[in-house]
Structures are given as structure tokens and as C-alpha cells.
Chains A and B, each alone.
Chain A
Amino acid sequence: MSTSESGQLWQTWQDAMTKEGFRHLQRWGRMYGVAEKARQIRKGATPSEVVYEEDRLKLLHYTGKTTPPKHRTPLIFVFALVNRPYILDLKPGRSVVGHFVDQGFDTYMIDWGVPGQADRFLTLDDYINGYIHNVVEYVRESTGAPEVSLLGYCMGGTMSAMFTALHQEKVRNLILLAAGIDFSTREGLLNLWSDSKYFDVDAFVDAHGNCPAEFLQASFLLLKPVQNLLEKPITFYENVDNDQYVDDFLTMEGWLNDNIPVPGEVFRQFVKFLYQKNLLVQNKMPVGKHLVNLRNIACPVLNIMATADDLVPCAQSQPFNDLIGSTDRKTVMVPAGHIGLAVGGKAQREVWPEACQWLGKRS
């Protein structure tokens, strides 16, 4: 390298360092406003009203622009028990619910509420043959529709699949979103960690009652510790001067940290019967007095999953379509993560309009 070349290089390095120094100062200036912004974050984008309540459960009915609804069959969102359901209606432009409401679907969502110690003995039977069943009955009665469509996300998808297998005559369409069905895979860390060799779920539930929200949150964080604990805060700091980024980040983080406990018995059944014994795919999953037989599912099924999902790997959702009795079944794989599947840009642009179209033809 000649002297002039090295001098030029040194100059470039100096300029870049100076610029970077100023950017750091700007970012630090911006950091003061972050706490205030976090307080201003609103949850939910689509107007809704509570139309039905039972114990801690609330059923939200979304009031859309098209009244009466364009499609005859109402749609019910069934969310997981581990987080709050507003991720499906996060903010304008990032709302799964919004897509369906705008397309003229009569849309409802189950908000399970936050379980207390009094709920520790609630079982999957109470949720599936109790709460979900009562919600479906309420929607059928209030709308006059003979059947409903169900959209289940994550654990809510697993419960929706079980409900459909037990009450097929009440479900017209089933959409699963990152739903765990076949738990034999060891691709995901959760599957490995919950192995009966390493995790005594009985002792855990007996000692704690409900599964604590902090335990769940720590487990989810540990799935990708470097990404969650190092990369994420640094990327946030580097983008703190981008208002849109900060708004998205705070909304997402607000939701991610809004974990809720899972009723103890449900947690026990979910871990023992699904993660440890994988009973659902064997058609031996007990729900109350009944065994779930996935072959009973005869309605159209749309099974959506994310290729980079660390919580519910594709291998866990994909086998579902081969285990059911329905002939009208479709699998959609999205290059996204577990949450990106709902709120990610690609999902919002491509997946949800397609899902609306699919459901519209069958409603």
C-alpha cells in the first residue's frame, strides 16, 4: 500500500469514526424519550366489544365497516393460554384480525384472561368442552349460523384441532397457525427440555400450582439467548432514531413481556400427554371422558406454519394434514418466525390476504 493510499484510508476511517461518534450522541439523546413512548403504546387496532363473559374469559366481537357481514359463517380466533391475544390485533397494518374484519367476516376473539390460583385445577376438558364449546354455542345462537370457523394460534391451534375433532358438526372451517400436533420431533429445544427424562412435570405443578409466567418467559428467552439478550437490545439502540422501528419494537416487546401463568392442570396435561407421550397423533389424547380422534376432522383445513419457528417447528405442525379425515386441506409455509407469522411484513402482505380468500370461498 502506498503512502497516499494509506493516508486516504486513514482519512476515511477518521470520517467514519467522527460520524459514528455523532450518531451515538444523537441516539443517547433519543433514549430519554423511549420510556414515555413505551407508556403511550396502545394495544389493539380494531374496535371491539365484549359480548360474552364466563369466569375470566371474555369474548370480543370486532365491529367492522361492512354491516351486515359479507360472509355467513362467523370466525372465532382461539389464542394460546401462555400470552395475551392482542398480538393478533397488534396495531394498524399489523393486525391479522383487521384483515378478516375488512374482508367482511363476522369476527370474534377469545381472551382467556389471567388465571389465578383458583384456576389451577382447570383441565383441557374445561377449556375445550367447556369454554370453547360455550363460546361456539353463544356465537351460533346469536348469529343464527349453524357452524363457525375456527382460527387457532399456537397452543390455541392445538385446542381448536381437538375441539373440531370432538365437535365436527359445529365447525365449518379450521385454520391452524403454528399449531403443535406431532410432538415426536426433537428439532425444537422446548421438545427436548420437556422430555420426561429431564422435566418432572408432576412435581413442578404440585409445587407451583399454576405454571408461573416468569418460568415461561425465561424458557422462551433461552430458546435464542444470544439473539434475545444481546442482538435485540443492540439493534434497538442502533435504530432508536427511527420512530417507526421504535414504535414496532416497543409494541412487540410490550406483548412479549406480557406473559400470563398457565393453569396447572392444563400445563400438566399439555406437557405430559403431548410433549412427553405424543398422544394426539396416536388418537389417544384424553379430553375429559373422550379420546380425540383426528380422523373425525372432515371440514376444510388451512394449516399455516413458519419455517424459522423455534417454538413450534414445522415438523410439529406439518403431519396434521395427513392425520385428518378431510380431503380439502392446504398447507402454507411462511419464511418467518413464530411471531412473524402473525405480524411480520411478508405475512401481512401475502399470507393473510390469501387466507381471507381461502376462507371467503368456504364461508
Chain B
Amino acid sequence: MSDEKENLYEQASAFQKIWGESFAKLAQVAFTYSPESAPPELLRQLRSGIFQALGKSWEEYMRSPQFLDSMKQMMDQAISFRKATNEVLTRAHQEIQGTSQKDVEAIMVSIHHMEVRLLDCMEELSGRLDQLEQRLGKDGTKGADGKARPSAPRSRKTTKTARKGTSK
């Protein structure tokens, strides 16, 4: 508990330091004006200086361990919430004997694995065919320089549709 408090105190003081410095920079910018400048121009100069100082402070803050830790905490909470929502929805779908996203994804994973296995088999067969062709004298595996080409990975997909039509 005391560790938590200490951590919280450290975060708060780091946050305070960064913003204290930013406001000091803002004040510096605000007091470097000349009375000769007309108000709109003067305000633009001030604004530009203020934004520059703010930009720097933000950049510093977003790099600080305090920000990174709080970002992680926020992300973890968002992920937990999403997971809980997914679980509730899945259960609701299952209760009404419907198809949940989880079921669809399980089917998709199975199809994907099957596709990978088939493509791997085809790749192996294709490699064997290349070897056979080489033995039969059809030197398809040699480059222009006569040296054997290194084997390149094959296409993962074989379906393609050529279609013509204007896009705009």
C-alpha cells in the first residue's frame, strides 16, 4: 500500500514538474513582446510562442515513464473491458443457440490452417517438379549466368480474377 502511495506521489510530482516548467515557458513567451507590434500581430506571436512551448512540454510528458505507465494501465483496462464484453456477448449468443463471433473465428482459423497445409504441400510438390525438370534437362532453375537460382518462396494464393472496369 505504501509502495502504491509512493508511486502515486512520484507520478504526481513528475506531472507537476513538467507542467510547472511549461507554465514558466509560457510566461517567458508572454512577456517578450514589443509595444510597437499591433495587437493582432502581437497575439499571433504570443500564440505561436505558447504553442511551441506547449508542444515541447507535451512531447516531454509523453516520453516520461509516468505517462508510459499510465498509458499501459489505461490500455490494460480497455483490453480487460473488451474481453469481458466479448465473453458476455459470446455467452448471450450461446444461450440463444446463435452463432457467436468466437465460433466464426474458430471456423476461420481451421480454414486458414487447412489452406496453409495445402499450400505447403503444393510448394513441396512444386519443388519436386522443379527437381524433376532439372534432371530431365529442362534447366528452368538456372539463371542467365548459368548458376542455379536460390529457391524463392512461392505464392501463398492461387486464385485471381482479372477484371476491367473504370474506378471513377
Contact = CB atoms under 8 A, between A and B. Distances in A.
A134 B157 contact: yes
Contacts of A200: 75-76, 79
B153 A50 contact: no
Interface in B12-62: 35-36, 38-41, 47, 51, 54-55, 58-59, 62
13 contacts: A15-B38, A16-B38, A19-B40, A47-B168, A48-B168, A49-B166, A50-B167, A53-B161, A120-B108, A126-B157, A131-B157, A192-B68, A198-B71
Interface of A: 9, 12-13, 15-17, 19-20, 44, 47-54, 58, 60, 117-118, 120-121, 125-126, 129-131, 133-134, 137-138, 142, 166-169, 189, 192-193, 195, 197-200, 203-204, 206-209, 222, 224-227, 230-231, 234, 287-290, 296
Interface residues of B, number: 50
Given A193-B71, A200-B75, A138 B162 contact: yes
A227 B51 CA distance: 8
A198 B65 CA distance: 10
Interface in B131-160: 143, 149-150, 152-157, 159-160
A126 B156 contact: yes
Contact of A50 (B82, B156, B165): B165
A226 B55 contact: yes
Contact of A230 (B51, B108, B163, B168): B51
Interface string B104-132: 11001100100000001000000000000
Contacts of B109: 121
A35 to B, nearest CB: 23
Contacts, number: 137
A22 B19 CA distance: 36
Interface string B58-95: 11001100001101100110010011001000000000
A290 B143 CA distance: 21
Contacts of A121: 105, 108-109, 112
A42 B55 CA distance: 33
B83 A207 contact: yes
Contacts of A130: 155-157
B1 to A, nearest CB: 24
A167 to B, nearest CB: 5
B7 interface: no
A54 B159 contact: yes
Contact of B39 (A13, A192, A296): A13
A83 to B, nearest CB: 18
Contacts of B36: 9
A50 B120 contact: no
Contact of A167 (B108, B153, B160, B167): B153
